[in-house]
Amino acid sequence: MKLGLVTYQLGKDWDVPTIISNLTHLKYAGVELRTTHAHGVEESLSADARADVRRQFAASPIELVGIGSIYEYHSTDQSVVRANIEGTKRALQLAHDVGAGGVKVRPNGDNLASGVAIEATLDQIGHALRECGQTAADNGVVIRLEMHGSVGDANHMRHVIDVANHPNVVLCWNSNTRFDVDEHGSVRHDFDLVSDRIGLVHLHDLTDEEYPWSELLALLTATGYSGYCLAECAPESSDPSRVLQYFRSLYLSYGGK
């Protein structure tokens, strides 16, 4: 496993050279760049600018793990779904051009529209991902569906990933206490439901004692997971580097590699 950062709250004000410099110093291995943040790695970048981002990361010890988009496919308005699919395809092209490994997408908020059967919503998300998966394959990258929003539990995400049925569509385990942790304080049941399709992991506040961080990292190790565990910390801090220093220490103490 490798430790990295999501520029969600910590790192959101850093440009690309600062991200590379700070993460190198902090002994992190990679980064997922959240869209709309100060690094400016967006779909609007010119070909030259994309090539420059690619060169900066290639010349550094920091891997560009992915682009953290906010595209989603659960709307009852099919024109909105289509716009998100086309946006995802643009983000996948961006990932290819800048040398990122993939694009994160998500369901978000209350994804269960009144009067619509949940299976229909899950099928719709899965079909959209299957279409985007082909574009991902054409660009040599992957789509990572974050286990997020009101349908982010393992049962629903297993349904979606099976409907998508594409090798370039994987799951991003989101370390969500609300869904993952059972009455015994374990994540094993939900983890086992989706472990074969986990392609990325987001870790939240490692001081949250309700979440069994040691168990999660041990389960990942036991399955041979060799991808990234990314720090997705909130809220923001006036000293993000200091927070990330502590985060790494806790990650290692819980069994992270």
Residue extents of the structural domains in the chain: 2-253
If you ran DSSP here, which 8-state letter would residue 109 be given? Answer: S
Backbone angles phi, psi at 251, to 5 degrees: -55, -45
CA–chain centroid gap for 86, Å, is 19
Closest by Cα among 163, 156, 87, 88 to 124: 163
Is residue 110 over pLDDT 80? Answer: no
DSSP secondary structure string for all residues of 77-104: -HHHHHHHHHHHHHHHHHHHHHT-SEEE
The verdict on whether omega for the bond into residue 167 sits within 30 degrees of 0, i.e. cis, is no
Rounded Cα–Cα distance for residues 5 and 233 (Å) = 9
Least confident segment among 102-111, 147-156, 157-166, 196-205:
102-111
Rounded Cα–Cα distance for residues 241 and 247 (Å) = 10
Amino acid 162: pLDDT: 98
Residue carrying the six token digits 């899965």: 126
- For the record, the structure tokens of 43 come out as 């779909």
Render pLDDT for 29-67 as a digit per residue (tens, 0 to 9): 999 999 888 899 999 999 999 999 999 999 999 999 999
In the CATH scheme, what architecture does the domain 2-253 have?
A: Alpha-Beta Barrel (3.20)
Burial grade of 120 (CB within 10 A; 0-12, 13-18, 19 or more): exposed
The band of 102, judged by pLDDT with boundaries at 50, 70 and 90, is: very high
If you ran DSSP here, which 8-state letter would residue 227 be given? Answer: S
Instruction: Decide if 95 contacts 66 (C-beta within 8 A).
Output: yes
If you ran DSSP here, which 8-state letter would residue 149 be given? Answer: G
Amino acid 92: pLDDT: 98
Q: Which pairs count as long-range contacts for 243-248, CB under 8 Å and 24+ apart, including other chains?
A: 243/10, 244/5, 244/10, 244/11, 244/22, 244/26, 244/28, 245/26, 247/206, 248/3, 248/26, 248/27, 248/28
Q: What is the mean pLDDT of the chain?
A: 94
Mean pLDDT of all residues in 12-24: 96
Any idea what the Cα angle at residue 175 is, between residues 171 and 178, rounded to 5°? 115
Amino acid 112: pLDDT: 64
Residue carrying the six token digits 């985007």: 132
